[in-house]
Each structure stands twice: as C-alpha cells, then as structure tokens.
Structure 1
Amino acid sequence: MVSHHVNRVVFGVEAAVLVGVLNRPQAWPSFRFQSSEILLALNGIAVWKVVLESVSSNRGANLIAQSVTKECRLQSYVAPKYGPIKEKTPLGRRTKKETGILEEVVERKQTIMGSAPAQIPTSFGHELRACLRCRLVKTYDQFRDAGCENCPFFKMEEDHERIVEVTTPNFNGIISVMDPSRSWAARWLRIGKFAPGCYTLAVSEPLPEEMQHLCQEERVQYVLPKRM
C-alpha cells in the first residue's frame, strides 16, 4: 500500500463547515477521515483537487483548505499551529498561478464527480445483496427501487424477479470505495471503472448464462468469479 504525505489540500466549496472536517489535531500522524464524515463533506463540495506541496519551513503537514465563498473571494483555512493563514485574495487580483489551479480544480471535479455515487446500504443485515456482475452491495429494497448503478441494463427496478437472478446474498467481505479510478484496491478487484459505493470482495456464484448473454449484447465486460 502506497502512503502519501499530504502537505496541502485545495478545495472549492460553498460550505465553510468542511474546514472542520479537514482540520485535524497536529498530534495525529496522518489525516484520517471517517466514511460518514467525508460523505457528508462531499455533498457540499462543488469542485476540489488535492495538491502535494513541500513546506520547508514546517516539518509537519501544512493543511490548507481553500474555499470559494458566495462573495466570490478566495479564502484559506489552516489548522492551529500549522502555519500562517494566507491573506484573502479577491477574484480580480488572483495571480496566473492561482487561476491555473482553479481551472485544474474545475477539470478535476468534472472528471470525478461526473460519475454519480451508488446508493450506500441503509442496513448491514441479512437483507444485503451483491450484484453478480459488478459486485455492488445494496439492500434488496434499494435494488428494487433504483436497480444497479453500474448495470442499468438489468432493469431490476422494472423486473423485480430479476433481482434474485442477478444478485446474491452469498458474498465475502465489503469494501467502501470513494474514488475507484484512483484506488489500487479497486483496480485489483476490477471495479476501478464503476461508481463510488460499497462493493464485496467476492461473490460465490456466476451470473446465469442468459444474463451473461445480455452482457455480451450490451458490450459490457463480465468476469467469472474465482472459486473460493
């Protein structure tokens, strides 16, 4: 597992409360986020980008969360004792470097946020099921109401009997993935191109042959599960 030392985090948000989620005590060896906190934070994010920056004057991490407020001013927030807070800079006085960063932020947002996250299971009991193709984990009721975000061609929300055909309650382990395209675990599990959400590590049975043929007709990849 690769560990990165994050020195600077740049955000473009409308809600300044995100700063409270990002700023952590200096004694913490790393910035760790609880899944519930980051999910709530992401709901308020308009655009965002992570920038790695070395700070020679401070051996510790210099965490800065920048937000674009409704007054159209660039503001910087920093955790206590992490270094000086930068001056607020009006949009009209931004440097070319700052403007370039914001353009990259918008581009990053369009790339990642373009893939809407899948529903998060409302319960983690016996009602959980996993899609046999993409291994997305949701409750039976969620599959019935919204289908599978990665496999809309199954049309589970229209044909409720198909839920039993293409999902299973027999699976091993659950992993929550916020950014599948950048997660080494997601790539290893072959879910890097799917929507952010909860996935199982492995299902215990293959798709029915009829559904495998449907995947071929839709020109989507299906990989048979490995024997456990």
Structure 2
Amino acid sequence: MSSSERACMLCGLVQTEAEFVSKGCANCQSIFDKAGVDTIDCISPSFEGYVGMCKPNKSWCARWLRIDNFHQGLYAVKVDGRLPVDVVDLLPHYIPRDGSHVE
C-alpha cells in the first residue's frame, strides 16, 4: 500500500489522495456534495486488501462486497474510519465498510 493511497469509506474505491482531491469519488461524490462535506473527510488511509473490478455487475465478489453497481476500479475489502454524520443521515441503509456491522 502506498502512503498516498486512500479508500473511500462509503464505497471502498482506492485512489491516491490527490485523485480524490481533484476528481472526487467516482461513486459517491454526489452524496458527499449533497451532505455538504469535503471528500477528504470521507476517505481513509487505513484499509485492508485490494480487489480489482473490471466488470462489477458480473462479479460474485463485487456482489459480496456490495460494489456491483459501482464503477470499475480498485477497491478495498475493509476500510477503517467513520463517515461524517451528515453523510450517514442521508443513507438509511448504510453499512460501514470497517467490519463492525453484524448481519
């Protein structure tokens, strides 16, 4: 893991911090904007594992990680950290990607 890599705490997309600052999150930016929070507050430098998704809508692994409706890219399996309350309040079915949710 590169020290500049970060993972989105909502979808798990992995990019460099600079990419998040310049482009935002390809999957979640509209939610962050609607909540009025800065993207930098929704990414984490602490994550585990990588999964590369070329065709998320056809992958059982993508369904298992709940990323099958997202853009192709590199995703973290587990992301440490908590999203800002303003973001969570917009998402009635939010499940944290830090492994704390028990089904």
| Structure with larger RCO (C-alpha < 8 A, sep 6+) | 2
- Residue 168 of structure 1 aligns with an amino acid whose one-letter code is S
Q: Distance in 2 between matches of 1:201 and 1:194?
A: 14
Aligned residue for 1:150?
A: 27
Give the 3-state SS of the residue equivalent to 2:38 in structure 1: helix
Q: Distance in 1 between matches of 2:42 and 2:29?
A: 12
User: Would you say 1:129 and 2:6 are equivalent positions?
Assistant: yes
Q: Distance in 2 between matches of 1:147 and 1:127?
A: 15
- In the alignment, which of 160, 168, 179 is matched to residue 55 of structure 2? 179
User: Would you say 1:167 and 2:43 are equivalent positions?
Assistant: yes
Aligned residue for 2:64?
A: 188
Sequence identity percentage:
33
Which sections of structure 2, spanning at least 5 residues, go unmatched?
none
- Residue 76 of structure 2 aligns with an amino acid whose one-letter code is T
Question: Deviation digits for residues 97-142 of structure 1, max 9, x if unmatched?
Answer: xxxxxxxxxxxxxxxxxxxxxxxxxxx5100000110010000110
Q: Distance in 1 between matches of 2:47 and 2:17?
A: 14
Matched pairs, number = 97
Give the 3-state SS of the residue equivalent to 1:145 in structure 2: helix
Cα deviation for residue 222 of structure 1 reads: 2.6
Which stretch of the first structure deviates more once superposed, 202-211 or 164-173? 202-211
Within 5 A, what are the aligned runs for 1:91-106?
A: none
Compare CA radii of gyration and give the structure with the larger one: 1
- Residue 224 of structure 1 aligns with an amino acid whose one-letter code is P
Within 5 A, what are the aligned runs for 1:26-41?
A: none
Question: Deviation digits for residues 186-213 of structure 1, max 9, x if unmatched?
Answer: 1111111110000000112221212212
Question: Deviation digits for residues 20-68 of structure 1, max 9, x if unmatched?
Answer: xxxxxxxxxxxxxxxxxxxxxxxxxxxxxxxxxxxxxxxxxxxxxxxxx
Q: Distance in 2 between matches of 1:136 and 1:198?
A: 6
TM-score by length of 1: 0.39
Aligned residue for 1:224?
A: 96
- Residue 19 of structure 2 aligns with an amino acid whose one-letter code is Q
Which sections of structure 1, spanning at least 5 residues, go unmatched?
1-123
Query: Given that residues 88 and 94 in structure 2 are in contact (C-alpha distance below 8 angstroms), is that contact kept between their aligned partners in structure 1?
Result: yes
- Residue 63 of structure 2 aligns with an amino acid whose one-letter code is R
Give the 3-state SS of the residue equivalent to 2:86 in structure 1: helix
Q: Distance in 1 between matches of 2:46 and 2:39?
A: 14
- Residue 178 of structure 1 aligns with an amino acid whose one-letter code is C
